[in-house]
Amino acid sequence: MHKLFAEELEALRARSLDRHLREIRSAQGSEIEIAGRRLINFSSNDYLGLANDPRLRKAATAAIDDFGVGAAASRLITGTQSPHLALERALAQWKRAERALCFSSGYAAALGTIPALVTKNDVVLLDKLCHASLIDGAKLSGAILRVFPHNHVGKLESHLEWARREHSGKRVLIITESVFSMDGDRAPLRELVHLKKRFDALLMLDEAHAVGVIGSNGRGLAVAENLNDEVDVQMGTLSKALGASGGYICGSRTLVEWLMNRARSFIYSTAPPPAIAAAALAAVDFLASPEGEERRLLLWERIRSMQGLLPRAELTEKQSGARSAIFPWIVGDEKAALNLSAALQNEGFFVPAIRYPTVAKGSSRLRITVTAAHKEDQIRSLCQAIKGNSL
């Protein structure tokens, strides 16, 4: 067995597709310490700089004092401690939904929710660039899976016609993301809602990279476009702009009660630590406050700076729109992406190379993320370094 995997690892190395862990000897932030060096960090999803915020730290430590560390059991057994319920109430109110349900991660939310909604003989229609958690959830459901080209409303429409013709009477679930994690562009939500209504389908929207970034007080794309009542299942994560950890689903009371009864990653897994729920609650409270909105507007100033300073000739149409905090710098070749990332690291920047299978073969890239914690001059110097290394 050892020999078999050693050979496969060697094959990955030969194609520059092997992965490694790096030890970070500091809290997350706009600067991190790797291998004894402080690097300016353009790799994180901590878009609002909350992962090490005193408000979240204080809430977590206070909850440890009151509730201890571990949750001891599944939420349905003895694991539902007060911070979980307080967080779900606050999340539902903030997202303008009837109810919310939290999971131990965004990945677990997708894996538990999709198979609870659809099963064998139902149909899932998934955007080609959807995150692995959504793909895995869709596969696990056993439903018939069709992928539509990225944001291609026309192709989705023909898939819907096919589904209604060939699988009449079955459930049809459309799954997409508000902001695509490796490309930073947005879904055409209004058109998707129009189609889902026309074909009587369900719509699930993963807001992982939109909450905290898009819409008033960072409520995400569905609320920003006033479509939250039309999106049947709003998924999100507490692990990115909210600076904590965990995933959630927002929607109707019935949806949440159904998931409590059917989502296996919720039912058969120990509840997240109460301190993490308390930290996430502090993040939601912050986001809902005027100060939180100020922080979000500061993030957009930084996004616009990055958009203005990244060497323009290299920007694709998609990138130049600055629709989110994610800027993909497409390199193409796997080795070339690793080399560019290493060259930037030598100059003091941490910007990891994203390769297959996270993105398609030959579309390797640097995934540059901007946060409200970055200073203008950090953004300026990164852009100069990219320019210098891309000549």
Ligand X SMILES: Cc1ncc(COP(=O)(O)O)c(C=O)c1O
> 34, 42 in Cβ contact below 8 A?
no
In whole angstroms, the minimum distance from the beta carbon of 247 to ligand X comes to: 5
29 versus 106: smaller Cβ distance to ligand X? 106
**Largest CA-CA distance found in the chain, in angstroms, rounded:** 61
d(CA 379, CA 391): 19
In whole angstroms, the minimum distance from the beta carbon of 349 to ligand X comes to: 21
In whole angstroms, the minimum distance from the beta carbon of 11 to ligand X comes to: 26
> 244, 285 in Cβ contact below 8 A?
no
DSSP assignment letter at 31: E
d(CA 145, CA 324): 28
What SS3 class is residue 300?
Answer: helix
The catalytic residue among 104, 105, 141, 181 is: 181
In whole angstroms, the minimum distance from the beta carbon of 324 to ligand X comes to: 11
Q: What are the tokens at 90?
A: 């606050």
Give the C-alpha distances (Å, rounded to integers) separating 34 from 320, 337, 345.
31, 20, 10
In whole angstroms, the minimum distance from the beta carbon of 109 to ligand X comes to: 7
| Residue number, nearest CB to ligand X | 106
195 versus 241: smaller Cβ distance to ligand X? 241
CA atoms within 13 A on the CB side of 44: 28
Residue by residue, DSSP assigns 375-389 as -HHHHHHHHHHHHHH
Q: Interior CA angle at 355 toward 41 and 218, to 5°? A: 50
d(CA 384, CA 371): 18
130 versus 163: smaller Cβ distance to ligand X? 130
Residues near ligand X (CB under 6 A) are 105-107, 131, 133, 177, 181, 206, 208-209, 237, 239, 247
Q: Which of 234, 191, 209, 204 is nearest to 94 (CA)?
A: 234
212 versus 247: smaller Cβ distance to ligand X? 247
The catalytic residue among 84, 196, 209, 374 is: 209
| Residue 181 among the catalytic residues | yes
42 versus 378: smaller Cβ distance to ligand X? 42
Catalytic amino acids?
A: 181, 209, 240
